[in-house]
Structure 1
Amino acid sequence: MYENLREKLWAYITHNNPDLMFTLQEGYSVKTYLEDKIHKVMPMVLDLISEGKPGHAIEELALQEMTKELRPSRFNYIKDVVTREFPTEYNKFREAGVLTYECINMIETCNDIFETFGFCETKQEDNRLRHAVIARVHDYLSI
Structure 2
Amino acid sequence: MKYLLMMFTWWNGQTLNTWVHTALHGVPVGEDEFGNRYYRSKKIDPALGFERRWVIYKGYAEGSMTPPGWYGWLHHTVATPPTEENYTPREWQLPHLPNLTGTPEAWRPPGSTLRANARPHATGDYEAWSPEG
**TM-score, structure 1 as length reference:** 0.27
- Structure showing the higher helix proportion among its residues: 1
Considering only CA atoms, is the larger Rg found in Structure 1 or Structure 2? 2
Instruction: Flag the structure with more relative contact order, 1 or 2, with Cα contacts below 8 A and sequence separation at least 6.
Output: 1
**TM-score, structure 2 as length reference:** 0.28
